């Protein structure tokens, strides 16, 4: 039996930094959604635990214990085998949770392959703040250091564009550059009838990491300008700690048109049109 698992791109529609604990970890309040573009994992029975990485974004991805997929597998304990193939499509260190979503998909897939329960929440959190929210990808509100997850609102139909200019923005550098770490929390997301109504609500919210990320990588401003200039764009914002940015549109067709236009003007950027994904 071979198990297939999808690892969708994570998008932080909002990311409010609301505090910092004594141990240095930052407190967040974020509305997270997922896109129907991402990586794919194939997991097959085997005597030993192995990882093979393929796909257009395979170069440079480690296949040893540095990879979150193998670290996720280790949470189940020693003595279990699986041949895991990771088909890599998402850029690394891009603010869209590629590694975290891979790890969460591996946890789901291995639990199914081996017929066991998922590791407990505290152990999953040791893999990183974004891994728990990626376990059941849908609209979710994530707070604290990633341990407090509650249901988000139903999403209206919409199109999405994801754009990464090919620069890595180290997350620690972005957090270190924050001038204020006790920003206001996000109000409760009310739910919206259309993408336009949702985008209007989001304009009053923030990604508190966008300013520091743009200072570290000014090309992020170019990306946001390029998305904003496309017809039908309702909102352009950076996701996570960057450098990937997203645009919201009324329809997938508008997003496809926008993605094509951005690819024409910036052929070296990673550009994908998408729609929201729910597992």
Catalytic: which of 10, 39, 87, 208? 10
Q: Report how far apart, in Å, the C-alpha atoms of 59 and of each of 8, 64, 91, 101, 255 are.
A: 19, 14, 10, 18, 28
* 88 noted as active-site residue: no
Q: How many residues does the chain have?
A: 279
Catalytic: which of 102, 130, 208, 250? 130
Cα gap 54→46, rounded to integer Å:
19
Contact in structure between 154 and 139 (CB atoms under 8 Å): yes
DSSP, res 181: S
Cα gap 203→215, rounded to integer Å:
21
Cα gap 121→124, rounded to integer Å:
5
Structure tokens at 199: 């985008």
CA 199 to mean position of chain CA atoms: 19
**Rg of the chain taking only CA atoms, in angstroms:** 18
SS3 154: coil
Cα gap 71→73, rounded to integer Å:
5
Cα gap 112→247, rounded to integer Å:
35
Q: Where are the beta strands (DSSP E) in 100-254?
A: 140-144, 148-151, 159-164, 235-238, 245-249
* 10 noted as active-site residue: yes
Catalytic positions, written as ranges: 10, 130
């Amino acid at each position: 039996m071979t198990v297939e698992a999808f690892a969708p791109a994570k998008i932080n529609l909002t990311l409010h930094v609301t505090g910092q604990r004594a141990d240095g970890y930052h407190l967040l309040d974020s509305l997270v959604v997922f896109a129907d573009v991402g990586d794919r994992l194939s997991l097959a029975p085997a005597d030993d635990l192995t990882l093979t990485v393929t796909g257009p974004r395979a170069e440079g991805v480690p296949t040893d214990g540095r990879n979150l997929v193998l670290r996720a597998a280790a949470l189940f304990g020693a003595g279990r085998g699986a041949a895991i193939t990771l088909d890599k499509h998402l850029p690394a260190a891009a603010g869209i949770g590629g590694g975290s979503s891979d790890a969460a998909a591996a946890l789901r897939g291995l639990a199914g392959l081996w017929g066991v329960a998922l590791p407990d929440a505290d152990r999953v959190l040791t893999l990183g703040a974004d891994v728990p929210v990626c376990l059941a990808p849908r609209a979710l509100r994530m707070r604290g250091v990633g341990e407090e997850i509650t249901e988000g609102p139903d999403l209206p139909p919409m199109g999405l564009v994801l754009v990464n200019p090919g620069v890595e923005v180290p997350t620690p550098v972005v957090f270190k550059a924050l001038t204020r770490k006790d920003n206001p929390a996000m109000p409760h997301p009310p739910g919206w009838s259309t993408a336009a109504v949702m985008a209007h609500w989001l304009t009053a919210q923030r990604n508190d990491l966008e300013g520091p990320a743009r200072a570290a990588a000014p090309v992020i401003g170019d990306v946001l300008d390029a998305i904003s200039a496309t017809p039908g764009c309702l909102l352009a914002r950076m996701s996570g700690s960057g450098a990937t940015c997203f645009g919201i549109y009324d329809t997938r067709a508008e997003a496809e048109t926008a993605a094509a236009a951005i690819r024409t003007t910036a052929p070296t950027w990673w550009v994908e049109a998408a729609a929201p994904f729910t597992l």
